[in-house]
A and B are shown apart, each in its own frame.
Chain A
Amino acid sequence: MPVTLRMAFRNLIEHKAKSLIVGVLLALGMLIMVLGNAFLDASKRGIETSFTKNYTGDVIITGVADGPVSLFGVQSVGGMEETPTVPEYEKVFAHASGLPETRFSSGMATGFGLLTNEAGDEAPADDEDEEDRMSAFVMLFGVDAANYWELFNTIEIEEGSFLKPGQAGIMLASDRMEKIGKHLKRELKVGDEVLVQGMGGSGIRLRSAKIVGTFKRVSDGAGPEQLSYIDIDTLRVLTGMTVGAAEDISLSDDQTAMLAVDDLDSLFSDDAFGAIDAPGSSEPGAALTEAGIGSLLGDTSARERLNAADTGAWHSILMRLDDPAHAKAVVASLNAWFAQEGIAAQAGDWQKAAGPYAQSVDVLRIVFTVAIVILAVVAIIIIMNTLVVSIIERTGEIGTMRALGGGRGFVRRLFAAETITLSVVFGLVGIILSFIGSAVINAIGFEASNEFLQILFGGKVLRAIIDPLSLVGSLAVIVAVGFVASLYPVSVALRIQPVRAMQS
C-alpha cells in the first residue's frame, strides 16, 4: 500500500469524530441520490408497463391532425370530436398485422359518455360530492372484440363475460359499478341496461347498453380510472362517427349578421338599435293542431341514413410486438410505409399513445427530479462545508508536515487520498443503506391514495428499483464531491507559512 494511502487511513482513524461526521453526511448524500434514482426508475418503468400492458400496447397507428393524436383524442381545438380516423383502415390494418414483429393488433375508437337513467327510472342523484357526480362520466373504449382481448390480457372478467364479436354492450370496472349504481340510485348488476348519453360532434345521442361483464386489471397502475369498454358500433353512434355528411343549410344574412360584430356595443348604436318589430311584421306561425302533429317534421328518412354507424371508422390501431424493444424500428418502418403509400396516418410508441397522460407524467417526473436534485445539492453543500471546516482545523498539522519536508504535492495527495477513501467507504455504506431502505419500502408497499400519487409512483404502490448504473454514477458523484471539496481548504492551508501554520 503506498505511503500516502497508509497515512490517509491512519489520519482518518486518528480524527475519528471528524471522519464520522463527514462520513455520515456522505452516506446520507449517497442514500438520497440512490433512493431518488430508484424511485424515478421505478416510476418510469411502472408507467410504461402499466400503459403498454393495459391501454396502449407497444405501437399505435392514428390518423393525422393539427395537434398530436393519442389514444385519448387529438390535443388541439375540438379535442375528442376532431380526432381523425385511420385512413384506408383495412389496408393499414392488414399491413400492420402482417409485420413479422407483430404478435397481436386491434382497432379501437375512444369517446366519452354519461351514464344516466331513462324514463321510468328515478332521476340520477343530484350529488353534492364531486367524486360521486363524476362517477357517471365514463371514458369509452370502443373495441374490436375479435382481437382486442388478445392484445390486453391484463383485463380479467370478475362477473359476466368479455364483449364478443358482434355483441352490443358495455363492460364496467367492478370497483366503479357500485359508485355508478349509487349515482343512478339503483343496484347495478350484469345483465342490466344502462342508458349512455354520448357527447359527439353532431350532438347528443342516447343508446341503451347492456352490462355484459365487470372487469378488473391484473396489472394495476396509473391510467384513466373511469374507463369502460363498449362495442364499437354503439360507440360510433354515440360519438358521431356516422355516415352523416355536413349539411348545407341556407341562412339569411339577418340570421348571422351579429356573429361578425366585433364591438358588441355597436349593436346598440342609434342607427342600428331601436328595432321593435311591430305586431304582425313577421310571418306568424301556423296554429298547430293535434292532427298536424304527425306531419310536423316531414320526411325523416335522411336522419336514419345519416345516423348509421360508419363501420370503417376507427380512431387507432394498437399493436403488441413479440419484443417491445423493436417498437422504435417498427414505428420507423410503418411511418416510411405510410409516406410511400401516401396514407395520412402516423405510427408512434406508447408515449404517443398515452398522450396527455405521458405528458403529465413527464411534468411530474421533472418536478420529482428537480426536488431530488435540490436535496442532493443541499447535501453536497453541507458535505463540502463540513470538509472545509475539518481541513481548515488541521492547518497546524499541515504546517508541521511542510516544516518536516513534506512538499505541497505530497500534502495535496494526502488530503485527496483521505477524502476519496472517506467518500468510497461511506459511499458504500450509503449504498448498503439504500438497499436496506428500498427493501423496507418495497416490503411495506406504500399505497398511492390518489391519482396524482399513482402517476408519481408509476403505479398504485411506491416502488424503488435500484439500477446498477445509477449506483456507479452516484458513487462517482460522491467521490468527486469529496475530492473537489478538499481542494479549496487544502490550497488555503498551503498558502500559510509553515511556521505560522504550526503556531495556529
Chain B
Amino acid sequence: MKRIVTIAILAIAAASSAAFAQDVPKIIAELDRQSDFTGKDFAAVYTIVSQKPGEKDSVTQVRMFRRDDKEQFAMLVVLPEVNKGQGYLREDDNVWFYDPTSRKFSFSSIKENIQNSEAKNSDLTKKSILDDYDIIGTKDGAVGKIPVWVIDLKAKTKDVTYERIVLYVRKDRTMLLKQEDFSVSGRLMRTSLYPKYAEIEGRLMPSQMLIVDELNPGERSQLTMTEQSLAPLPDKVFTKAFLEQVNK
C-alpha cells in the first residue's frame, strides 16, 4: 500500500513538474507582456537614489518616454541640475547619449548605467526575455514568505546585458519578485528586487525596485516610478531633435 502511495506521489510530482516545465515559456511570455506597451506610448518619471559607502546618496531623476511598437525610447535627465537635459535616445539600432553642455551626441548602449547609479538603460525598457534567453532550469523556491518559481535562463544573443539571469516569479500571480544577473564567468553581478507594483491598463509595472551591486558591497540603487502615463506622445520625442529642443 505504502509503495503505491509513494509511486502515486512521485507520479503526481513528476506530472506537475512536467506541467510546470511546459508552462515556463508561458510565464516568461506573461512577464514580457506586462512590460510591453505595444500600441500605446508610455511615459513615467523614475527617481533613482544611489548609495555608495562613504559617499552622500546621489539622486538622479529621469523622464522616460517609450514607444514599444518601434522599440524606441527617449530618456531625459531632470535632476540633478548639473546634468539636467542630458538624455538617452534609441533610434533604429543605435542608442545615443546627449550632452547639452557641448550639444554632442555619442554612441551609447542599452547596457550602460544610468548616470552613476546601478540601474541600466535596459532596466527601464521593454523586456523580451523569451526572445533573448533560453530556459536552462526551473525549480520551486521562496522569496521571503512567498512561494516562487525559480527560472534559470541563458542568453541566446550578445545584445543582452547579462549572460545568465535567474528569475524568481511569484506562483499565485505572475509577478517578477527578484532577478539575479550573472556574468559570462558565472559570477553574480547584480540582484534586483521588485517589491511594489503598479497596475496600468492590465499590465503590472514595478513601481519600486532595489538594485544591489553584488561586486561592490554596500552599493545599491532604489528606483521609484511615478507619473506614469499612456497618453500619446508626439513623434518628435523619439528623435535627436527632441533632446536638442528641450535644452533650448
**A116→B210 contact, CB < 8 A:** no
Asked whether any CB of chain A lies closer than 8 Å to the CB of B24, the reply is no
Decide if A251 touches B59 in the complex (CB within 8 Å).
yes
Interface window among B1-9, B82-90, B125-133: B82-90
**Set of chain A residues within 8 Å of B86, measured between Cβ atoms:** 203-204
Contact B228 A264 (CB under 8 A): no
Q: Which of B12-20, B96-104, B181-189 contacts A (4 or more CB under 8 A)?
A: B96-104
In the complex, A329 has a CB within 8 A of chain B: no
Pair B79/A249 contact, Cβ less than 8 Å: yes
23 contacts between A and B (CB under 8 A): A118-B105, A195-B106, A197-B97, A201-B116, A247-B79, A254-B224, A255-B49, A258-B208, A259-B220, A267-B195, A268-B146, A268-B177, A268-B193, A273-B144, A276-B204, A284-B228, A285-B45, A285-B231, A288-B65, A290-B236, A294-B245, A303-B82, A307-B101
> Which B residues are in CB contact (< 8 Å) with A297?
76, 78, 84-85, 246-247
With both chains docked as a complex, state the minimum distance between the C-beta of A127 and any C-beta of chain B, in angstroms: 13
Q: Does A131 contact B (CB under 8 A)?
A: no
Which of B49, B76, B102 is close to A259, meaning CB atoms less than 8 Å apart?
B49
Residues of A within 8 A of B246 (CB): 293-294, 296-297
A300 touches B106 (CB 8 A): no
Q: Give A304 to B208 CA distance when docked, in angstroms.
A: 32
* Residue A275 lies at the interface, judged by CB distance under 8 Å to chain B: yes
Residues of B within 8 A of A265 (CB): 143-144
Closest 8 CB pairs of A and B: A268-B144, A285-B227, A287-B231, A285-B229, A206-B99, A119-B105, A277-B198, A267-B195
Contact B193 A119 (CB under 8 A): no
State whether A285 touches B195 (Cβ < 8 A).
Answer: no
Chain B residues 213-248 with CB under 8 Å of chain A are 220, 222, 224, 226-229, 231-234, 236-237, 240, 242, 245-248
Q: What residue of chain B has the Cβ atom nearest to residue A77's Cβ?
A: B54
Residues of B close to A449: CB separation below 8 A: none
Taking the complex as formed, is A450 at the interface, i.e. its CB lies under 8 A from any CB of chain B?
no
In the complex the two chains form, is B100's CB within 8 Å of A303's CB?
yes
Q: A-contacting residues of B (Cβ < 8 Å)?
A: 43-45, 47, 49, 51-57, 59, 61, 63, 65, 76, 78-86, 94, 96-97, 99-102, 104-107, 115-116, 143-146, 177, 191, 193, 195-201, 204, 207-208, 210, 212, 220, 222, 224, 226-229, 231-234, 236-237, 240, 242, 245-248
Number of contact residues on A: which range applies?
35 or more
Residues of A within 8 A of B232 (CB): 287
Return the chain A residue nearest B202 by Cβ: A279
Query: With an 8 A cutoff between CB atoms, is A374 at the interface?
Result: no
Contact with B along A244-255 (1 / 0, CB 8 A): 101101010011
Say yes or no: is A256 at the interface (Cβ < 8 Å to chain B): yes
Take A246-B56, A266-B144 as given contacts and tell me if A118 and B106 are in contact as well, using a CB distance cutoff of 8 Å: yes
Across the interface, do A300 and B84 meet the contact criterion of CB distance under 8 Å?
yes
Residues of the A chain whose Cβ atoms lie less than 8 Å from the Cβ of B177: 268
Interchain CB contact (< 8 A) of A247 among B82, B107, B199: B82
CB of A302 within 8 A of chain B?
A: yes
| Chain B neighbourhood of A302, CB < 8 A | 81, 84
Q: Can you name the residue of chain B whose Cβ is closest to the Cβ of A116?
A: B106
Q: When the two chains form their complex, are residues A268 and B145 in contact, meaning their CB atoms are under 8 A apart?
A: yes
Could you tell me the distance in whole angstroms from the C-beta of A180 to the nearest C-beta in chain B? 15
Within 8 A of B (CB), among A83-138: 116-119, 123-124
Residues of A within 8 A of B197 (CB): 275-277
- Whole-angstrom CA separation of A284 from B200 in the bound complex: 11
CA distance A206 to B59 in the complex (A): 21
Contacts of B107 in A (CB 8 A): 116-117, 123-124
A3 sits at the interface (CB 8 A): no
Contact present for A303 and B81 (CB under 8 Å): yes
